[in-house]
Structure 1
Amino acid sequence: MPRAQIKDEKKYQKLRDKGESKEKAARIANASAGQGEKKVGRRGGKSPSYDDWTKDDLLKRAREIGIEGRSSMNKSELVKALRDH
């Protein structure tokens, strides 16, 4: 069922399936629906993927946003938790 705040549901689902966070997937889906996929893709982001972060940096970010159980998580679990948040 389409959500009112998501302008391109198919794009949103593809991004979520790739592992993007709900917020990021919605932002990209809505931007590409309004401006066109090529324009949005060229603009891009400057922040590296969580996969490129060190475990210490991931732990720090998880602490900042209040992810429970972060101290016992390995790097891939931290990345998933951050993306799901």
Structure 2
Amino acid sequence: MSKDHGPSIKNDEQYEELRKQGMSKQKAARIANTENSGEKGGKAKPYEERTKEDLMKQARKIGIEGRSTMNKEELIKALRNN
């Protein structure tokens, strides 16, 4: 049974697993709090097939700083490293 991390963490089980894998508290919380967290993915287009505007929206959603000055390649790298 997973520990209850309170209202700040939407998916406690996923959060704990990500922490066990060595992710920071901030990154694990961000992933565990995304919509549909824990559901099987794989339906999204690869970043390279998305528009810069779509990448900007995703970067804004997860809080990447400095995104307004990034080109498409830099946005892709930042999204993958977050």
User: In the alignment, what sits opposite 1:83?
Assistant: 80
The reply to whether residue 50 of structure 1 matches residue 39 of structure 2 is: no
Distance in 1 (CA, whole Å) between partners of 2:72 and 2:48 is 8
Shift in Å at residue 56 of structure 1? 0.3
Structure 1, unaligned runs of 5 or more: 6-22, 24-43
Shift in Å at residue 72 of structure 1? 0.1
Count residues with an aligned counterpart: 47
Distance in 1 (CA, whole Å) between partners of 2:44 and 2:54 is 13
Q: Which runs of 4+ in 1 moved over 2 A?
A: none
Shift in Å at residue 45 of structure 1? 1.8
The reply to whether residue 61 of structure 1 matches residue 58 of structure 2 is: yes
Q: Deviation per CA, 1:2-52, whole angstroms, max 9, x where unpaired?
A: xx74xxxxxxxxxxxxxxxxx9xxxxxxxxxxxxxxxxxxxx821110111
Structure 2, unaligned runs of 5 or more: 1-19, 22-27, 29-40
Q: CA RMSD in A?
A: 2.3
Distance in 1 (CA, whole Å) between partners of 2:68 and 2:42 is 28
Higher relative contact order (CA 8 A, sep 6+): 1
User: In the alignment, what sits opposite 2:34?
Assistant: none
Q: Larger % of helix: which?
A: 1
Equivalent position amino acid for 1:63 in 2: R
